[in-house]
Amino acid sequence: MTKSLKEKFDKKMGFTPAIMHIAAEVDPKMAEFYNFCDSAVQEDGALPSKFKMLLIMAMGAQRHCKECVVSAMRGAHNKGATDAEIIEAIRVVAVAGGAPAITACKDALQMLKDKSFEKMGCGTK
């Protein structure tokens, strides 16, 4: 992964997802493509970036991907999402996705409870 791409992730999300380090080693063009797509999420537009990250968190829960939930929740938190906003988004996940989706939120809820956003998850600070 290029230093500039890592710095960009760190600045925008507060960490670089571990998968990006691996992807950049295996296929540097994939990392650059991800960077291009990521700008749609990381930049404020009609929706603030923190809300976009909460949407991605909910989508990850619907797919039962706890790593996706943790990564997006960390990103939303680092973008300024409050505990209340994160919890409300997880409540919506529970309503829309039921037990399987809320189960995918377990690690994210634990991080929120412990205030340990660097301790768990798929990214590195």
Residue 122 counted as domain residue: no
- Same domain flag for 38 and 71: no
Q: Which of 27, 10, 2 is nearest to 125 (CA)?
A: 10
Residue 83 counted as domain residue: yes
- Same domain flag for 73 and 35: no
The label of the residue with tokens 């619907």 reads 62
- Same domain flag for 51 and 29: no
Give the model confidence (pLDDT) of 40-95 as tens digits: 888 899 999 999 999 999 999 999 999 999 989 998 999 999 999 999 999 999 99
pTM score above 0.85: no
Confidence of residue 120 (pLDDT cuts 50, 70, 90): very low
Give the Cα separation of 23 and 34 in Å (integer): 10
Provide the residue range defining the domain that includes 5.
Answer: 1-42
Give the Cα separation of 63 and 65 in Å (integer): 5
DSSP conformational letter for 15: S
Residue 59 counted as domain residue: yes
- Same domain flag for 38 and 63: no
Q: What does pLDDT average to over the chain?
A: 84
Q: Where are the beta strands (DSSP E) in the chain?
A: 16-17, 123-124
Residue 8 counted as domain residue: yes
Q: Is the dihedral of CA 117, 123, 73, 76 positive or negative?
A: positive
CATH code, domain carrying 90: 1.20.1290.10
Considering its fold, how many domains does the chain have in total? 2
- Same domain flag for 21 and 7: yes
